[in-house]
Amino acid sequence: MAELTTANSLASYGYEVLLTSTLQEASHLLRTNGRISVLVVDTDLGHAGAGLSLAKDARMSDPDLKVIYTSRMPFRLADAEKVDGAPCLRTPYRPHQLAGVINQLVRRVATEAEAYAA
């Protein structure tokens, strides 16, 4: 239910949101939908490490994919387990907080691209 509320809130900010209920669905969607630019992974769901593995596999397939982790205990996520540059948002969070993190990632990438073009 919280996922649907978050998805609806992100949609109100103008984001197109795709939800999956299993890691297999998420993996398939990441492989077949070339328009996904941000992956939000709840590391508290599923078996230990499944979300972390999904993010690593997805980033290997698409090095430009932005990843955001969510966790009740983000301090337990070792940096070595996460993909580079991926922030972790502590749960529970409010949808506007997630939208803010997404905006920061997108803005940071746009700023870096402008710096390379100059």
For residue 96 the two structure tokens come to 């506007």
Strand partners, 90: 71
Q: What is the per-residue pLDDT for 40?
A: 93
pLDDT in tens, 26-40: 999 999 988 899 999
Tokens 């999904």 sit on residue = 54
How many angstroms separate the most distant Cα atoms in the chain?
45
* Residues of the chain falling short of pLDDT 70: 1-2, 46-48, 108-118
Q: What is the pLDDT of residue 69?
A: 93
Spatial distance between the Cα atoms of 47 and 83, rounded to a whole number of angstroms: 18
The mean predicted confidence, pLDDT, of the chain is 85
> 28: left (phi > 0), else alpha (psi -120 to 50), else beta?
alpha
Answer yes or no: are the C-beta atoms of 41 and 55 closer than 8 Å: yes
Give me the pLDDT at residue 84, please. 92
Between CA 100 and CA 23 the distance in angstroms is 25
Beta bridge partners of 71: 90
Q: What is the pLDDT of residue 5?
A: 78
